Amino acid sequence: MDRSENMRRIKSRNTAPEMALRRLVHGMGYRYRLHRADLPGTPDMVFPGRRKVIFLHGCFWHDHGCKLSHTPKSNASYWGPKLARNRLRDQANVEALRDLGWKCLVIWECDVAQLEKVRKRVTKYLRIRKF
């Protein structure tokens, strides 16, 4: 299969880890908005009343450094800088959101395998309102 065809099929929204996180947070009783394009980075989950967002980062695309992420050996001259740019963009988006008065939580794809840990992090993060 052609590389570009393969890359075209990779989804950025409604992925299995994202759906698992949504079910978890919704089941905890929290309501949210999805992918607000008017916010920097188009956060995966937005809690407007709390002025908080959650990003669910894929370990490969955001270069997490865990066992799920790796730099491809073929065309390394492309992938190395590409993944580095993704990380820089992520940092800039978080800073821009903080400058606008939003708080950010990043959950990694590999974390979703341990939903109880994610539940505790989300509970701690969303429990306190900004007011």
User: pLDDT above 90 covers what percent of the chain?
Assistant: 66
Maximum pairwise Cα distance, the chain: 53
DSSP 8-state class, residue 30: -
> Is the pLDDT assigned to residue 54 strictly greater than 70?
yes
DSSP 8-state class, residue 104: E
> Is the pLDDT assigned to residue 12 strictly greater than 90?
no
Give the model's pLDDT for residue 97: 98
Give the model's pLDDT for residue 118: 96
- Mean pLDDT, range 121-126, rounded to an integer: 95
Give the model's pLDDT for residue 93: 97
Calpha distance 112→27 (Å, rounded): 15
Give the model's pLDDT for residue 73: 85
- What lies within 8 Å, CB to CB, of 125 at 6+ separation is 52, 54, 103, 105
Number of H helices and E strands in the chain, helices first, is 4, 4
Q: Which of 15-19, 66-70, 85-89, 114-118 has the lowest mean pLDDT?
A: 66-70
> Is the pLDDT assigned to residue 8 strictly greater than 80?
no
Instruction: List, in order of start, the domains of the chain with CATH numbers.
Output: 13-127 (3.40.960.10)
**pLDDT, tens only, 71-118:** 888 888 988 999 999 999 999 999 999 999 999 999 999 999 999 999
